[in-house]
Chains A and B, each alone.
Chain A
Amino acid sequence: EAGVAQSPRYKIIEKRQSVAFWCNPISGHATLYWYQQILGQGPKLLIQFQNNGVVDDSQLPKDRFSAERLKGVDSTLKIQPAKLEDSAVYLCASSLTAGRSTRNEQFFGPGTRLTVL
């Protein structure tokens, strides 16, 4: 079974530039998550989608970050404009469902490592 796909794997940009990340979840997974992992810390949830609707975006810096999942499958996360403190690994994860279920195990993609100079 194919896992969660992400691209690009690495990105280097200068501050104030824009960047976009792409995620393709495991086929059939309704729930998709974007996490930010800063070096030395655990992943932090940015946004969660259930199909194409947003479930939780409470920790998404909405002045510069945006995300969409238009057809309930692929998702993109955008940063505009980037700041130095956005340097991190951006992880996408998916699960069959969410909440109280044995089917809510989250599977992570390999991540996109962003460096902002």
Chain B
Amino acid sequence: RKEVEQDPGPFNVPEGATVAFNCTYSNSASQSFFWYRQDCRKEPKLLMSVYSSGNEDGRFTAQLNRASQYISLLIRDSKLSDSATYLCVVNRYNQGGKLIFGQGTELSVKP
């Protein structure tokens, strides 16, 4: 079993749609959580950190459930520019800040 698992993609949605990505992690020692965005043939970039209380950044909302070891990302009012692969990432401080990536979920927003 992979340490971080994401919804298999791709997700194809129309502009304006709301889309949700799910992610589970297997190691309860994981201590911090992130969503990264990776455009086609580009490097990953940090989209947002994920906190237990939930956090929002504009159209993006991230949630963490430590008891269920589950992370989610919600995108409201999808834009064409949101088309990318979204990577769920966990981090364990006692391993020197090592990031463990999920396989990514591809999102394609259509006009």
B96 touches A108 (CB 8 A): no
Interface mask (B39-67 → A, CB under 8 Å = 1, otherwise 0): 00011111000000000000000000000
Report the bound CA distance from A56 to B100 in whole Å: 13
Q: Which of A43, A48, A55, A98 contacts B101 (CB 8 A)?
A: A43
- How would residues 87 to 111 of chain B score, 1 for a CB under 8 Å from any chain A CB and 0 otherwise? 1010101111111111110000000
Query: Do B43 and A110 touch across chains, with their CB atoms under 8 A apart?
Result: yes
Give chain A interface residues in 73-117, CB to chain B under 8 Å. Answer: 91, 95, 97-100, 104-106, 108-111
Total A-B contacts with CB atoms under 8 angstroms apart: 55
Whether B103 contacts A42 by the Cβ 8 Å rule is yes
Give, as a whole number of angstroms, the nearest-CB distance from A21 to chain B: 14
Does B18 touch A at the CB level, under 8 Å? no
- Any chain A CB within 8 A of the CB of B31? yes
Measured CB to CB, the residues of A under 8 A from B are: 31, 33, 40-45, 48, 50, 55-56, 91, 95, 97-100, 104-106, 108-111
B positions within 8 Å CB-CB of A: 4, 31, 42-46, 87, 89, 91, 93-104
7 A-B residue pairs with CB within 8 Å: A40-B103, A42-B89, A48-B98, A55-B96, A95-B97, A98-B97, A99-B93
Beyond A43-B99, A56-B98, A99-B97, 16 additional contacts (C-beta under 8 Å) are A40-B103, A41-B104, A42-B101, A43-B44, A43-B87, A43-B101, A44-B101, A91-B43, A97-B97, A98-B97, A99-B94, A99-B96, A100-B93, A105-B46, A108-B45, A111-B43
